[in-house]
Amino acid sequence: MAHRLTGTALLLVGVSACGGEDEVECPTVAPVDGIGVALHAEWTTGRPSTAVIDYGEGSPDRYRLHVSDDYESAHAGTLLGMPPETEVAWRSTTVDEDGVETVCEGTVTTGALDPDLPYLSLDVDQPGQDPDTRWFAGTMVDSNFDDALLFLVDRAGDWLWWRKMEKGQAILQFEPTPDETGEFFYTRFDPDRVEDIGAAYRLKTTGVRDGEGQRLVMGHHFVFMHPDGTVAYSAADKRDWTDPSTGEVIRVAGDDLVEVSPDGEQTTLYSSWDHLPVEETSYWSIPFYPDAEDWTHANAVTYSEERDSYLLSFANLATVVEIDRETGEPLRTFRGDAEPLEGAYTVEGAATPFRHQHDPRWTEDGTLLMTSLDPWSRVVEYEVDDASRTLREVWSCGAEEQDYVYVLGNARRLPNGNTFQGASVLSFLREWSPDCEELWKLRGPDDRRFGNVLPLQSLPRIELLAE
């Protein structure tokens, strides 16, 4: 048995379409306030039902939004991926526990773009790009890192979603939550590292914050969120240290690896103070912290489910430590362009060692991928040899461009074997082929910087039905 309901005017105002105790209401579909290209759908069903909405330009056959996978009476979701000021056709389908299907159809027009959104230019657009990577989620900040814009864009640089954030916070990470709820999360910190305001927040696709967030005590830089909502992050750990050569007592900032549960319980897994010697590097007196010397400068936490281990990147030490999640013990320490460290893996032979690295992570092939500044920015990949405790460089791209990305930056291996590179302070995103051909480059304005940018193969709870 099925009900099919049509008539745009009726459907868009959410008028009851079927009478009786099993009353069915069709969706109200309208542009999200302040994010006009995003369309929010909301409705109720008299009996618990599953629900999807198919939609697209002209006909509802491009995307499918999975609104309710379980039997629910209240349904809500956000349609993403549509151009501005475009008529969108949609079709909702609900199925109750007896298999009764109700279909509603209608159209709605997306809103205009915010005229203050930065212009993104497509500088390079060549064949061979990863066909599954169509969208990008991230943040864009000003030169002071205290004026942030959260965004979703496509490969052409078209804005699909955005939210302007309140000034005075460093917001460098924004991406879909890994629990498939259809929400996002973002982190915030004090751009001047004076106040301890670190936190991770969940954000609905309507731009409304969901809940009070999780405190990231003394947190900074990039974090990792697990599917259960646990967040792993680097926390500044400032202690007094006595310089053995002078006897001077100096306030020094190391870093801890901390997990915080969804209910706020904090667990310290690892501390640099317990496992690494204090070193005065060339970055020692750069005023990153106003009240301490910057010793380790942790700048990324990544996680491997297969290994059940974290990689914690210490940029100032040209060091990456692999840490067992269960025990908190260091499993391996990888050392780049720095003084030798007992037991650490080093870069083999004449290859240029990594330095001021960002975003180290394991690839599916078991290699180590990261960005490096040595002396020019590049993406570099190493094969790990446990027998000889060495890193063997097997691939690298970007040094010949002579880009100098001294803040942030990230790299991801894409499904087809290409590699994504984000270059924060130079305000561009790039895709490399395996033979280092630049296939795609999206550039932002000179007065803005990209934070962490995540290439996406899907949008939150949205299935691509047709190209």
pLDDT, position 24: 66
Tell me: do 101 and 134 sit in the same domain. Answer: no
Instruction: Report yes or no on 407 lying in a domain.
Output: yes
Supply the pLDDT for residue 235: 98
The answer to whether residue 115 sits within a structural domain is no
Question: Residues 71, 48: contact at Cβ < 8 Å?
Answer: yes
Mean pLDDT in residue range 122-130:
98
pLDDT attached to residue 467 = 84
Res 2 pLDDT > 60: no
**98 and 171 share one domain:** no
DSSP letters spanning 24-87:
EEPPEEEEETTEEEEEEEEEEEEEEEEEEEEEEESSS-SEEEEEEEEEEEEEEEEE--PPTT-E
Would you put residue 351 in left (φ > 0), alpha (ψ -120 to 50) or beta?
A: beta
SS (H, E, C) 207-233: CCEEEEEEECCCEEEEEEECCCCCEEE
Q: Mean pLDDT for the chain?
A: 93
| CA–CA distances in Å: residue 329 to residues 119, 295, 342 | 46, 20, 16
CA atoms 275, 277, 281, 283: torsion sign: positive
Range of the domain at 276: 121-464
Q: What is the pLDDT of residues 351-397, one digit of tens each?
A: 789 999 999 999 999 999 999 999 999 999 999 999 999 999 999 99
Q: Per residue in 394-442, pLDDT tens?
A: 999 999 999 988 888 899 999 999 999 999 888 999 999 999 999 999 9
Evaluate whether residue 116 is within a structural domain.
no
Distance between CA atoms of residues 117 and 96, nearest Å: 42
Query: Is 431 within a domain?
Result: yes
Q: How confident is the model at residue 286 (pLDDT cuts 50, 70, 90)?
A: confident
Q: What is the pLDDT of residue 189?
A: 96
Asked if pLDDT for residue 16 goes beyond 60, the answer is no
Among 81, 109, 137, the domain boundary falls at: 109
- Looking at residues 305-312, what average pLDDT do you find? 98
Positions of E strands within 101-193:
101-109, 121-125, 135-141, 148-154, 159-164, 174-176, 184-188
Shared domain check, 200 and 319: yes
- pLDDT tens digits, one per residue of 23-77: 668 999 999 999 999 999 999 999 999 999 999 999 999 999 999 999 999 999 9
Judgement on whether residues 356 and 459 belong to the same structural domain of the protein: yes
Do 76 and 153 fall within a single domain?
A: no
Q: What is the arithmetic mean of pLDDT over 213-232?
A: 97
E-strand stretches of 272-397? 293-294, 298-304, 309-314, 319-324, 330-335, 345-347, 358-362, 368-373, 377-385, 390-397
Q: Which strand (E) or helix (H) includes residue 12?
A: helix 8-12
Asked if 233 and 258 count as a contact pair (C-beta separation under 8 A), the reply is yes
In a domain, 399, yes or no: yes
Give the number of other Cβ atoms within 10 Å of residue 459's Cβ: 24
Whether residue 8 is predicted with pLDDT greater than 60 in this model: the reply is no
Q: Which two tokens stand for residue 130?
A: 């990863």
pLDDT of 7 > 50? The answer is no
In a domain, 199, yes or no: yes
Answer yes or no: do 99 and 45 share one domain.
yes
DSSP β-ladder status, 293-294 and 266-271: unpaired
Residue 14 pLDDT level (bands cut at 50, 70, 90): very low
CA distance 132 to 42: 29
- Judgement on whether residues 184 and 308 belong to the same structural domain of the protein: yes
- Residue in the block written with tokens 């009900």: 3
Residues 225-252, mean pLDDT to the nearest whole number? 97
CB 10 within 8 A of CB 35: no
User: Residue 246 corresponds to which tokens in the numbers above?
Assistant: 């002078």
Q: Which residues of 375-406 are buried (b: 16+ CB within 10 A; e: fewer)?
A: eebbbbbbebeeeebbbebebbbbbeeebebe
pLDDT at 162 over 90: yes
Task: Read off the pLDDT band of 4 (50, 70, 90).
Answer: low
Q: 257 and 404 share a domain?
A: yes
Instruction: Give the distance, in angstroms, between the CA of residue 291 and the centroid of all CA atoms in the same chain.
Output: 30
Closest CA to 215 of 230, 226, 205, 200: 200
Work out the pLDDT band at 19, boundaries 50, 70, 90.
Answer: very low
The more confident residue out of 127 and 5 is 127
pLDDT of res. 22: 56
Residues 174 and 285 in one domain: yes
Specify the pTM.
0.93
Three-class DSSP category at 351: coil
How many domains in the chain?
2
| pLDDT tens profile 164-215 | 999 999 999 999 999 988 999 999 999 999 999 999 999 999 999 988 899 9
The answer to whether residue 53 is domain-embedded is yes
Cβ atoms of residues 330 and 344 within 8 Å: no
Location of structure tokens 């460290």? 341
Q: Read off the pLDDT of residues 319-356 as tens digits, 9 standing for 90 and up.
A: 999 999 999 999 999 999 998 899 999 999 877 899 99
Same structural domain, 104 and 127: no
Sequence-distant contacts of 198-205: CB under 8 A, at least 24 apart? 198/233, 198/235, 200/225, 200/231, 200/233, 200/260, 202/177, 203/150, 203/163, 203/174, 204/78, 205/32, 205/38, 205/40, 205/77, 205/78, 205/80, 205/161, 205/460
- Let me know whether 39 and 104 are in one domain: yes
The letter for the amino acid at 211 is G
pLDDT of amino acid 351: 78
